[in-house]
Every structure is written in structure tokens, then in C-alpha cells.
Amino acid sequence: MLLSIVAPVYNVEDYLKDFIFSLEKQKTINNYYELILIDDGSTDSSGQICDDLANMFNNIFVIHKENSGLANARNIGLEKAKGKYIFFADSDDLFNKLELKNLLLKLKYYDKDLVIVPFNTLKKDGSLNINSYSSYISCKTILEFCNLLASQDKQLPWAAFQHFISRRFLLKNNLKFNMAYNGAEDLKLFSEMIKCKPNYIIYPNAIMNYRSNREGSINNTKNYSSVMGQLKAYVDAISDFSSQYQIKNYLIKRLFDTLIQIPMIHNKEDQNLCYRFVNANKEVLNTDDLSLKYKIIASLLRKVGLRKGLTLLLDIYKLEQFNKSR
């Protein structure tokens, strides 16, 4: 088996069939890959759809379990996987044309720990933002690649659906998703993978069309667990990449962007836990290398305090969003 695709499923009944049919349309040899669907306690018809499609295709396997979150679902899929490579997909996204087929034909001959791919963004209006890594293929190391992306303020490639990972590499280094980093488990795993110095290659074309801003998706959910998970992951990653100027500053900016979510947490005690965590790690916010926007934010937080400053920033953000919608 060349590839195991692991896809957690939770209440995606409106998207699941499109996801699976976009995979089966790749028209590749079925025994090249298996699709492992992890029904994570869905309360809609997603579980039944998984079973129906598994009956249609002999390379689809379904595991039903109680809800325990994305990280645990992926780890269960990893335990069951048989492929030389592992790919973690989101079951509300779409595979991009025949790009998986094209990569599989090359993957047979790769002997890499990690293959990094870009992703396209599918907007609500159906339009597609195309992304390519063709101009980065010459990067000799992952750190060089990431520093270059960060210097251009482009998303670092930590999303799980950007990685085809050798199962042997994962098992050898005991790598899996950490449930303590809910909402940022991808970043945490990516940081841990880089520490293991994988033999890697960049593939230029996107494999997935990522469905952005889907109502109810994990990335649109603001709760204590996900906010704290992101805060912890960014603080850890800033420490891990402290010697990498561009990467570190990119991560600090993303941490600032995450801070604004704290006042959006409904429970005040949960808010307080987040504020205490940030105050205990506030040294990571002290840098003179940020852009003017983030220097102003840092100055505001120092002058009026974390709670008042973030509440004010959230009000400004809501006003900006309101004006954009008019």
C-alpha cells in the first residue's frame, strides 16, 4: 500500500460525498491508496454516509467512535494505516483535479520522510485561489523554505493536509497529534517533525482545495480549548524557532492575532486562564522587529493592560468587519 489517507469526520453531511467523490475521480489505481474515515461521534447523517460509501468502494474503511476531537481521531487513523505514506485530509475539503494521481505516480519512486505541498483556497462564492510552490523548489532546507515564506508574510506549511509523511518516519520518532494543542495540533506536529530533520521534498502543485470560512468548521470555532491550544502552540513554536528571525516574527504576529480571541470566550474563568497564560509568557511578545501595526498593539497592551487592550481591539475589529459588510 503506497498511501493511507486519514480523514476525521464530524457533522459534514453536506460536504462528505463531494470530498470522497473528488478523491475517487482521481482515476488512479485503487490499491495505491486506502481512505480511512474516522466518524468522531457525528450527530448528523455523516456516519451513515461513511458506511454507504464504504460499501461502494473497496478501499474505504470506516471507524465509528465517541467524539474526542480532531487530534485523537487522526491518531486512531494513524494506528490503523498501512500505507508507506500518510496523508491527513479534512473531510469538508475537495481534492484538486487529478493532482493526487500525478503525485502518487511520483511518490512510488520517492524515498523521503516528508513531501510538502501547497493548497488552494475555495471561497464561498465558488471561486478558487490557486497556490503554487514552484518558486520554492530550490530551497535546500525546510528552515530556508519557511524563512522565505515568512519574509513574504505567507502562511507557513504546517497544515496537516500539506504533508505526505512517511509512516516509518512517524513511528520511528514517535510522532503523533498532541490533544493538548486543540486548534493548533498541526503546528505542534510540524514543529516536532522539523526537530527530527526529515529528508524532504517540495511538490509544486496543490493537492487539496481548502474550503475557507465554512460555518461551523473547526477554524471558525472560538472556545477556551481551541484558543488555549493555539496560544500554547505559538508560544512553544516561538521558542523552538527563536534563532530563525523571519519564522519567529511571523509566529509572533500570528500569536497577536490569536490574542484577540480571548475576549470572545464566553466563560470568564476560562478567559482568566488564558490571560494568566499570556502574562506568564509575555516575554515572547517583546520584540522590536515587528511591523508598525503590531508595535502599536504591543504598546497598547502594555499601557492599558491585557484585558482592556484586547477588549478594545476586539471592538475595533468588529467595527472593521461591519464596515466591510456594508
pLDDT for the residue 294: 82
- Segment 176-186, tens digit of pLDDT: 999 999 999 99
Task: Report the pLDDT averaged over residues 306-316.
Answer: 89
pTM comes to 0.93
Q: What are residue 65's DSSP bridge partners? A: 40
pLDDT for the residue 322: 59
pLDDT surpassing 60 at residue 205: yes
pLDDT for the residue 30: 61
For CA atoms 47, 48, 53, 59, the dihedral sign is positive
- Segment 226-250, tens digit of pLDDT: 999 999 999 999 999 999 999 999 9
In 66-205, beta strands by DSSP E: 85-88, 94-95, 114-116, 119-122, 128-129, 163-166, 200-202
Distance CA 15, CA 235 (A): 34
pLDDT surpassing 50 at residue 220: no
Q: Percent of the chain having pLDDT more than 70?
A: 93
pLDDT surpassing 50 at residue 219: no
What residues contact residue 215 under an 8 Å CB cut-off, 6+ apart? none
The pLDDT-based confidence of 27 (bands split at 50, 70, 90) is low
Give the N- to C-terminal CA distance of the chain in Å, as an integer. 52
Distance CA 306, CA 244 (A): 27
pLDDT for the residue 326: 57
Q: What rounded mean pLDDT belongs to the chain?
A: 92
Task: Determine the Cα angle at 142 with ends 137 and 143, to 5°.
Answer: 120
Q: Percent of the chain having pLDDT more than 90?
A: 76
pLDDT surpassing 90 at residue 320: no
Distance CA 214, CA 191 (A): 27
pLDDT surpassing 70 at residue 159: yes
Task: Report the pLDDT averaged over residues 76-105.
Answer: 95
pLDDT surpassing 70 at residue 91: yes
pLDDT surpassing 80 at residue 29: no
The pLDDT-based confidence of 110 (bands split at 50, 70, 90) is confident
- Per the listing, cell 497556490 goes with 131
pLDDT surpassing 50 at residue 100: yes
pLDDT surpassing 60 at residue 217: no
Task: Report the pLDDT averaged over residues 294-311.
Answer: 88
- Higher-confidence residue of 287 and 155: namely 155
